Amino acid sequence: MSLSWAWLFLLLATFPWLLGVDLLSDAMAASGVCLFISGAAIIAPCRRLRRWQAVLFSGCVGFLFESLRPIPDGSVALLLVFVAIYLTSHRDAIRDLPKMFAAAVVVNALACSAWFIAAGLAHTKEVPLVSLHFLGQWLLHLLLATILAVLLLVPLTLVQNFAMDRIGVPQPDEAV
Amino acid sequence: MDNNRQGAKASYVALVFFIGLWLILPSAVRRFNREAFAEFQAPALHLVGKGRDLARYWELKSRSPEELAAASRDLARINAALELKLHSLDDARKENIRLREMLRYPQSTEFVTVVARVSIRETSSWWQRIVIRKGRSDGVRPGCPVVFGDRVIGRVSTVHLTTSEVDLVTSPGFRCTAFLEGDEQYHVVHVSGRAGLSLSAPRALVSIIPLEYNPPAGQIAKVMTTGLGGVFPSGLTLGTLEAGVQSTAEKHMQTGALTPAKELNFIQEVSVLIPKYPTAGEILLTPADKPEEFR
Amino acid sequence: MKDVDGQNPSAPSDPISAWRLRAIFFFFSAGFIYVAVGLGYRQLAQNDFLTNQSDNQSRRVVIRPPSRGKIFDRNGYVLVDNRVRWSVKADLLALQPEFRKEYLDLLNKEKARFPDRRPDYDQLQQTARLNVLNAWLNKIWFVIDSTNQKAAKGSAKVKSTPDLHPEERMVHPDALRKHLNERRALKFPLILDLAFPNSGHAVTPEEGNRAVARFIEQFPVHGPITLEADMVRSYPNGKLAAHVLGYVRDSDILKGQLDDVIEDEFVNLQKLGYTGKKGADGIEATYNEVLSGRSGWELWTKTSSGYNKDLLKLSAPVQGANVTLSLDTKIQKSAEEALAKIVDSQGKPLPAAAVMLDVNTGEILALASQPSFDPNEMADRVTQIYFDQVNADGGWLNRSTQGLYPPGSTFKLITATAGMRANKIDWDDILDCGPSYMVGGRAFPEHEPSGYGQVDLEKMLAVSCNVWNYQVGLRTGPENLAKEARRFGLDTPLLRKPSEHDNHSTTELPNPATRMVVPDRAYKQRVAGEAWTDGDTANTSIGQGYLLTTPLHMACLAASIARGETRTTPSIIHDPGRDGRHAGAEPIGLTTPQLHALREGMVRCVEEGTAKSVRIQGLPYAAKTGTSEYFKKGEKAHLAWIVGYAPADNPVVAFCVLVEGQLDTSTWGGKTAGPVARDMIMAWQSAAEEK
């Protein structure tokens, strides 16, 4: 199996998790909140994939999230690509588990904010951008995004690492 | 490490280049990209829906024969009642057609109904969407009304090959006209989705209610479609008018909140009403079918 | 392969590196070109952005007119309402990019066609705006026209909008220019009123609703074209009581008192106003200040090109107060319907007036004037054609309060009263009345060629004997006749507002007649420069000659006689606390038998006399008819009168009807005006029974 397609296989391995979180949001629809995990999903791949692969992977994760939501195209995907470039060039920032947790929380919160604000900007007619409601809703989503990142990072990483091992992606230290 | 950092710079430049390109690209390219990723997910969404169906199937399968017998008996009764109703409706329909022709009143729009399962819902505070498992290949077109029985769920906003996204009644992208129950003068009121406030569910707003309108005493007023706009058939229930209609700041009209007719968060199956002929609004939005004057 | 991909990608000896170098070179060249192009582009964009930033520093205040108060009749029935007006508007600021694109297209075309000529930039810009707006308008018409939805084969097609000329479906260039010059900050109305899509051309409410619904449901939700709902004046009963209600016309609300409306710190900012409304006739005009309410305001930031950008603050307008009129819609309706039946030989309604009052309070229950107008036609814009048409018919004149006519035989009530009060005749005196009476060598005729013979007061009133009045008038003398007429207030202006309401207008209805004439010797000397003759006295005694008064005055006279007093103060405003006292009123000054005979004569007029044809079974009422002569456009014509009160024994309402006849002798008091009075009394009766 060619290693160039590693990002795609990894994407297929990650997709059920993204879908699962979407379904969870679906089940929680009455509360009016959306669960967000796309940011945390790129941490493990960024440790081991080569940069261009990590970039493709992150972009796809972002676009998958955007495709069913009425927000400006690329707002989440391009941010994740930026983060992927940063992480692949600062791999020591995600070398061990505690650092990965920190990164997952930061990235997930960042991407969640990007999504939330972009969505707000796309609906300026309906959404009072400068208001306590907006702030409250945003903080709520940020909180959920950080919690979800902490909860799901370990199982997500295990699955992604397993997939990468099977494809033959080199271990993080070798990849640097 | 150094190599890595240097390569990163090139990557950043490439990213900036790409963002610039992304911004000036024709919107068709972005739309295609979005479409492609939506289609990528479509099979999974179908699968999820099928999985739900299967679960329901096994759940039903586990019922005892007694339960099934009772259910079938109930069904037979309902069937008989409906049969009777159908008969009287047929007469009413004929009468309706005759009267319409007499008064030279425009024919109401004819619809083809497509039943669709809900595969996923996307309800955040400022949009309210569900994804259904019927798409372009099933004849669904943007703008089609989506109903559950005689209750309005929303309108199709985007159509993919095998799935469609539906703007719910509470979505900011939704608007239509309605009559209020108990309003003998049939004032046209305006129903539109509104973004919810923090930690509260989104709602729809009923506006332009005349000041002299009072909800019928002791009951909650239904909000029903007018059928005048050529999109929704008349007499469908949009929901009920929540108590506490307020007059606007200028004190010359009233507004109120709408409770959707169907619990939108738990809906599993909907019907899409596809007009037999495209509406004027549809024609306007579809470049290929535009009439001569707009080309 | 795996190893190569996975590790140390930058080994110099790697054959791939040359390919990579080239790729990188190519990549960077492309990047450089992009950056160079992008820089130029950014420069422009940045420039706009910065310009915008500075624009936002300035602010302006937009004044919003309030909606007017409603007008009710005495039973709470709505006479004047506000209806929702749906208008389609274009956000010019949001359309700027489209304008610009179209402008550049036009400019390029122009330059290609005439390379040597300097293009007219202003004109091109205007054309570009027009093109863009017309394209949108085209789309709107396309959507709201229901024929654009294919229906099943063979079904009837109905248009939801009237067939308009293509020009009428376009933006009017002058309107756009005016809007841009005066109020570009506000949205530009593409279709001002979907219920009146073409000026003065209404569709049915059903069709209006359909147009609104089609727009709402089929037009894209987000975009530069919006649908706005505001309130405009509506007269749900059309022409009903139009002269009383009046109409409204556009007003510049910036001219009003704004200092107490806007917060102090914003008073000095630039101000812009939506079009307001002010009353132009009827109650709308005389009670304009009550009905108007208070304007609201909005504080906006504005761009350098003068458009509004963000709304910072607002204060909502306050609706005006309601006014309750004394009119009773049922009676008013019956009066107008009955008047409409009086037509000339070509079937055109004759000019006429009808008034009904409450005998005790003087509140006006009905006040009709024909021909009339539809205030709805004036609610949005005065269409000159409609204005001229009403003008040509004489429809603007309120004949009940403004029309001056000789009262004819109805004046005989005053002649008789004057005679009795001057002790020149008593109620049971019988006079010999032949076919004519000689006054100053001239024979004054009776309207009955054979004469009436022996006539007393009651019979005189029943048959309207002229000769009896000539004799009594001459005996009483012109001074006494005039004094009596003035005692009954025939030349006193009516409908004055009580002093505490004295503000903008001093009268309850606009310009009630003030030039009534009760002639005496001095009057004739002044006007004609001639001495008074016995002939003048004879003429005055039968309500002819110089006498001029209004139908409202005559209705008040009937109400006064019904109460046994001299004056009735009419009012169009309903006040449940009225005490029935009337300014200047005094007892009529007749003995009981005299007053009884006067009233009995009026009853006999209905039972057996000139108003016999309009008697009502089971409801005796009192009336006096009159047929006077006047000059219409220089030619002699007849006026038909009837005044009276009902019921005969316990008077509640008094009435007066006047019809301007044609240039023939087919108009007679009882026959022509009587049916209107009868219908009004019956409407009053059925309304009273319902209560």
Give the pLDDT mean for C559-570: 94
From the first residue on, what is the mean pLDDT of each consecutive set of 10 residues in chain A (176 residues)? 80 92 79 83 90 92 86 89 91 87 93 86 64 75 91 93 89 59
Give the pLDDT mean for C209-221: 86
Q: DSSP string spanning chain B?
A: -HHHHHHHHHHHHHHHHHHHHHHHS-HHHHHHHHHHHHHHHHHHHHHHHHHHHHHHHHHHHTS-HHHHHHHHHHHHHHHHHHHHHHHHHHHHHHHHHHHHHHHTPPPPPPEEEEEEEEEEEEEETTEEEEEES--GGGT--TT-EEEETTEEEEEEEEE-SS-EEEEETTSTT-EEEEEETT-TT---EEEEEEPPPTTS--EEEEEEEETT--PPTTSPPEEEE-S-SSSSPTT-EEEEEPS--EE-TTSSEEEEEEEESS-GGG--EEEEEEESS--HHHHHH-GGG--GGG-
Res B295: pLDDT:
34
Indicate whether C598 belongs to any domain. Answer: yes
Nearest CA to C69 out of C379, C250, C321 is that of: C321
Highest mean pLDDT among B257-271, C47-61, C233-247, C325-339: C325-339
Indicate whether C14 belongs to any domain. Answer: no
Indicate whether B268 belongs to any domain. Answer: yes
Res B268: pLDDT:
78
Please tell me what DSSP assigns to residue C198. Answer: B
Pair C308, C187: CB distance under 8 Å: no
Rounded-to-integer distance, Cα C268 and Cα B91, Å = 69
Q: Which of A3, A125, A168 sits opposite C222 (nearest CB)?
A: A125
Q: Which residue has the tokens 């004469």?
A: C451
The verdict on C294 and C413 lying in the same domain is: no
Res C32: pLDDT:
59
Residue of B nearest to A139 (CA): B198
Res C258: pLDDT:
66
Indicate whether C8 belongs to any domain. Answer: no
Please tell me what DSSP assigns to residue C187. Answer: P
CB spacing of B8 vs A23 below 8 angstroms: no
Highest mean pLDDT among A86-95, C160-169, C202-211, C320-329: C320-329
Between helices C173-183 and C121-144, what is the axis angle to 10°?
110
The verdict on B163 and B230 lying in the same domain is: yes
Res C202: pLDDT:
57
Are β-strands C364-370 and C622-632 bridged in parallel, bridged antiparallel, or unpaired?
unpaired
Among C276, C301, C324, which residue terminates a domain? C324
pLDDT tens digit sequence for A22-47: 888 877 766 667 888 999 999 999 98
Indicate whether C44 belongs to any domain. Answer: no
Burial call B144-182: b when 16+ CB within 10 Å, e when fewer: bbbbbeebbbbbbbbbbebbbbbbbbbbbbbbbbbbbbe
Res B204: pLDDT:
85
Rounded-to-integer distance, Cα A42 and Cα C652, Å = 92
B21: chain C residues, CB-CB within 8 Å: 34
The verdict on B118 and B46 lying in the same domain is: no
Provide the shortest C-alpha distance from residue A3 to chain C (in Å): 7
Indicate whether C289 belongs to any domain. Answer: yes
Q: Which of B123, B193, B196 sits opposite A29 (nearest CB)?
A: B123
Q: Computed from CA positions of residues C198, C201, C207, C208, in that sequence, does the dihedral angle turn out positive or negative?
A: positive
Res C401: pLDDT:
95
Provide the shortest C-alpha distance from residue C203 to chain A (in Å): 32
pLDDT above 80 (res B194):
no
- Give the percent of chain B with pLDDT over 90: 10
B19: chain A residues, CB-CB within 8 Å: 74, 78
Residue B240's beta-bridge partner residues?
Answer: B222, B259
Among C292, C324, C356, which residue terminates a domain? C324
The DSSP element (H or E) to which C625 belongs, if any, is: strand C622-632
- Give the percent of chain C with pLDDT over 90: 44
Q: Which positions 13-42 of A are in contact with B (Cβ < 8 Å)? A: 15-16, 19, 22-23, 25-26, 29-34
CB spacing of B100 vs C151 below 8 angstroms: no
- Picking from B55-59, C14-18, C311-315, which range would have the lowest pLDDT averaged per residue? C14-18
Indicate whether C495 belongs to any domain. Answer: yes
Q: What is the length of chain C?
A: 691
The verdict on C248 and C333 lying in the same domain is: no
Domain ranges of chain A: 3-168
Res B118: pLDDT:
83
Measured between CB atoms, does A72 come within 8 Å of chain B?
no
pLDDT above 50 (res B86):
yes
Provide the shortest C-alpha distance from residue B267 to chain C (in Å): 24
Res B266: pLDDT:
73
Residue with the bigger pLDDT between B266 and C171: it is: C171
SS3 string, C105-127, reads HHHHHHHHHCCCCCCCHHHHHHH
Among C304, C324, C344, which residue terminates a domain? C324
Res A22: pLDDT:
86
- Average pLDDT taken over every residue of chain C: 83
Give the pLDDT mean for C631-641: 82
B133: chain A residues, CB-CB within 8 Å: none
C7: chain A residues, CB-CB within 8 Å: 170, 174
Indicate whether C34 belongs to any domain. Answer: no
The verdict on B47 and B174 lying in the same domain is: no
Highest mean pLDDT among A3-17, B281-295, C184-198: A3-17
pLDDT tens digit sequence for C380-422: 555 677 888 888 888 999 999 999 999 999 999 999 999 999 9
Structural domain tally of chain B?
A: 2
Measured between CB atoms, does C210 come within 8 Å of chain B?
yes
Nearest CA to A64 out of C580, B42, C373, C78 is that of: B42
The verdict on C101 and C231 lying in the same domain is: yes
The verdict on C294 and C351 lying in the same domain is: no
Rounded-to-integer distance, Cα C331 and Cα C74, Å = 11
Indicate whether B45 belongs to any domain. Answer: yes
Rounded-to-integer distance, Cα C402 and Cα C513, Å = 5
Res B42: pLDDT:
85
Residue of B nearest to A34 (CA): B124
The verdict on B140 and B272 lying in the same domain is: yes
The verdict on B264 and B172 lying in the same domain is: yes
The verdict on C293 and C414 lying in the same domain is: no
Q: Say how many Å lie between the first and final Cα of chain A, rounded.
A: 22
Measured between CB atoms, does B250 come within 8 Å of chain C?
yes
Provide the shortest C-alpha distance from residue B105 to chain C (in Å): 6
The verdict on B159 and B238 lying in the same domain is: yes
Query: CATH no. for residue C527?
Result: 3.40.710.10
Residue of A nearest to B164 (CA): A68
Indicate whether C353 belongs to any domain. Answer: yes
Q: DSSP string spanning chain A?
A: --GGGHHHHHHHHHHHHHHHHHHHHHHTGGGT-----TTGGGHHHHHHS-HHHHHHHHHHHHHHHHHTS-S-TTHHHHHHHHHHHHHHH-GGGGSSHHHHHHHHHHHHHHHHHHHHHHHHHHTTTTS-SSSHHHHHHHHHHHHHHHHHHHHHHHHHHHHHHHHHHHHTPPPHHHH-
Peptide bond just before C651 cis, omega within 30 deg: no
With contact defined as 3+ CB pairs under 8 Å, the chains touching C are A, B
> In sequence order, which residues have a C-beta less than 8 Å from that of residue A37 and are 6 or more positions away?
A17, A18, A21, A108, A145, A148, A149, A152, A156
Q: Which of B20, B106, B277 sits opposite C158 (nearest CB)?
A: B106
Indicate whether B131 belongs to any domain. Answer: yes
Residue of A nearest to C3 (CA): A170
For an interface test with A, the pick among B13, B52, B126, B170 (most A C-beta atoms closer than 10 Å) comes out as: B126
Between helices A97-122 and A132-167, what is the axis angle to 10°?
130
Indicate whether B44 belongs to any domain. Answer: yes
Res A81: pLDDT:
93
Q: Which positions 135-174 of B are in contact with A (Cβ < 8 Å)? A: 157, 165, 172-173
Residue with the bigger pLDDT between C237 and C504: it is: C237
Joined tokens for residue C626: 């009159």
Res A68: pLDDT:
77
pTM over 0.80, yes/no: no
B187: chain C residues, CB-CB within 8 Å: 84
Pair C332, C368: CB distance under 8 Å: yes
> In sequence order, which residues have a C-beta less than 8 Å from that of residue C174 and are 6 or more positions away?
none
pLDDT tens digit sequence for C571-630: 999 999 888 889 888 999 999 999 999 999 999 999 999 899 999 999 999 999 998 888
The verdict on B254 and B167 lying in the same domain is: yes
- The confidence band for C645, taking pLDDT boundaries of 50, 70 and 90, is very high
The verdict on C234 and C354 lying in the same domain is: no
Residue with the bigger pLDDT between B246 and C687: it is: C687
Query: CATH no. for residue C118?
Result: 3.90.1310.10
Pair C606, C464: CB distance under 8 Å: no
Structural domain tally of chain C?
A: 2
Q: Which of A66, A68, A85 sits opposite B11 (nearest CB)?
A: A85
For residue B127, what are the domain limits? 111-286
Provide the shortest C-alpha distance from residue C3 to chain A (in Å): 9
The verdict on C301 and C424 lying in the same domain is: no
- Average pLDDT taken over every residue of chain B: 81
Are β-strands B189-194 and B203-210 bridged in parallel, bridged antiparallel, or unpaired?
antiparallel
The verdict on B135 and B235 lying in the same domain is: yes
Residue of A nearest to B32 (CA): A67
For residue C137, what are the domain limits? 59-147+159-324
- The confidence band for C5, taking pLDDT boundaries of 50, 70 and 90, is very low
The verdict on C308 and C356 lying in the same domain is: no
pLDDT above 80 (res C457):
yes
Nearest CA to A152 out of A44, A24, A37 is that of: A37
C222: chain A residues, CB-CB within 8 Å: 125
Res C7: pLDDT:
43
The verdict on B43 and B122 lying in the same domain is: no
Q: Which of B19, B199, B264 sits opposite A78 (nearest CB)?
A: B19
The verdict on C382 and C313 lying in the same domain is: no
Pair B206, B255: CB distance under 8 Å: yes
pLDDT tens digit sequence for C95-129: 999 999 999 999 999 889 888 888 888 899 999 99
A50: chain C residues, CB-CB within 8 Å: 5-6
The verdict on C280 and C214 lying in the same domain is: yes
The verdict on B52 and B116 lying in the same domain is: no
Query: CATH no. for residue B127?
Result: 2.40.10.340
